């Protein structure tokens, strides 16, 4: 049997003629508690009231223009992912880890997403500080074998 357009037969995208039916369809094995249909119905009613009021009272987003009121209704599973949380190990310019007192922890280096204090993400930070950490660890090792 062929699925309707934009509906995934594997269970990631859903379509229903009522919001209550939609909440029954979106149950996943990963959920500890299914969504009560009243919660979705109340959320949609609140969103629709923002359209009527011409203002998003919850988040101050640009004014929604279209009500959610005509079936079929659609839902999709998504998984939130925190890519960078701007926390992690504090490092200096040599990628050495700094303790709570501002002192270098000898022999401990860090780079990439394990290092904190950056509000940028991507591979550049990983490559740059990974290279610096590797270089400095190699220098430290070479210096310790000379002694």
pLDDT in tens, 92-139: 999 999 999 999 999 999 988 788 776 666 677 788 888 999 999 999
Per the CB < 8 A criterion, the answer to whether 96 and 108 are in contact is: yes
Q: Does the pLDDT at position 65 exceed 70?
A: yes
The whole-angstrom separation of Cα 137 and Cα 106 is 10
| Per-residue tokens: 89 | 């190990």
Q: Does the pLDDT at position 6 exceed 80?
A: no
Q: Which of 96, 98, 91, 97 is nearest to 139 (CA)?
A: 96
Q: What is the pTM of this model?
A: 0.52
The confidence score (pLDDT) of residue 37 equals 93
Bridge partners (DSSP) listed for residue 145: none
The whole-angstrom separation of Cα 21 and Cα 43 is 15
Enumerate the domain spans of the chain: 13-76, 96-146
Bridge partners (DSSP) listed for residue 13: 76
Per the CB < 8 A criterion, the answer to whether 15 and 7 are in contact is: yes
User: What's the pLDDT tens digit per position in 31-47?
Assistant: 778 889 999 999 999 99
The whole-angstrom separation of Cα 123 and Cα 131 is 12
């Amino acid at each position: 049997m062929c699925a309707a357009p934009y509906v995934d037969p594997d269970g990631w995208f859903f379509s229903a003629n009522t919001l209550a039916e939609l909440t029954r369809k979106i149950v996943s094995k990963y959920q500890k508690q299914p969504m009560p249909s009243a919660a979705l119905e109340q959320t949609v009613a609140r969103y629709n009231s923002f359209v009527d009021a011409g203002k998003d009272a919850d988040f101050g987003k640009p004014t929604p223009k279209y009500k959610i009121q005509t079936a079929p209704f659609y839902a999709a599973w998504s998984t939130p992912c925190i890519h960078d949380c701007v926390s992690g190990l504090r490092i200096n310019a040599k990628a050495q880890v700094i303790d709570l007192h501002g002192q270098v922890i000898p022999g401990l280096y860090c780079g990439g997403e394990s290092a904190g204090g950056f509000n940028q993400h991507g591979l550049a930070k990983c490559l740059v500080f990974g290279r610096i950490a590797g270089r400095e660890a190699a220098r430290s090792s070479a210096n310790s074998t000379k002694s």
